[in-house]
Amino acid sequence: QKEVEQDPGPLSVPEGAIVSLNCTYSNSAFQYFMWYRQYSRKGPELLMYTYSSGNKEDGRFTAQVDKSSKYISLFIRDSQPSDSATYLCAMSASGANNLFFGTGTRLTVIP
C-alpha cells in the first residue's frame, strides 16, 4: 500500500465550477499537509500548507484535513482556466526529512 493515494484523474470541469481534490494516507504520524500546483514544464509550487486537522482558506482555495479519516481535500471555488494544472498533495511527519507525495490529479478548467 502506498503511503499516499491520490486519484490521477484527469478531471475536466467548466469554468466557475467548484472543484474537489482529495488524498488519503496510511501513516498516522503525518502532521504537515501541503498542496502543490504544477503547470506543464514547470516545477511544483506551494499552494496550501496546513498543520494537523482543520481547515485553511486562501482566496478561492480551501484545504481541509481530517486526521481521524486520514483524508485531506483541496477545494477550488469559481474555478478559472488558469487553474488548469496538476495538483499534488504532500505530507510529512514531525521531524521527518522527506515529504511523501501523491501522484497528482490533472485538472482542466474549460472556458
Partner 1 sequence: EAQVTQNPRYLITVTGKKLTVTCSQNMNHEYMSWYRQDPGLGLRQIYYSMNVEVTDKGDVPEGYKVSRKEKRNFPLILESPSPNQTSLYFCASRWQGASPLHFGNGTRLTVT
Residues that bind partner 1 (CB under 8 A): 4, 6, 8, 31-32, 34, 36, 41-46, 49, 51, 88, 90, 92, 94-99, 101-104
Give the torsion sign (CA, 109, 38, 7, 31): negative
**Smallest distance, Å, CB 17 to partner 1?**
26
Residues 6+ apart with CB under 8 A from 26: 1, 2, 3, 4, 70
Measured from the CB atom, the residue of 25 and 79 that comes closer to partner 1 is 25
**Smallest distance, Å, CB 15 to partner 1?**
27
Measured from the CB atom, the residue of 16 and 51 that comes closer to partner 1 is 51
**Smallest distance, Å, CB 77 to partner 1?**
23
Measured from the CB atom, the residue of 35 and 79 that comes closer to partner 1 is 35
Measured from the CB atom, the residue of 79 and 100 that comes closer to partner 1 is 100
- Determine the length of the chain: 111
Asked if 91 contacts 100 with a C-beta cutoff of 8 angstroms, the reply is yes
- Strands (E) located in the chain: 4-6, 11-14, 19-25, 30-38, 45-51, 54-58, 61-66, 71-76, 85-93, 100-101, 105-110
**Smallest distance, Å, CB 46 to partner 1?**
5
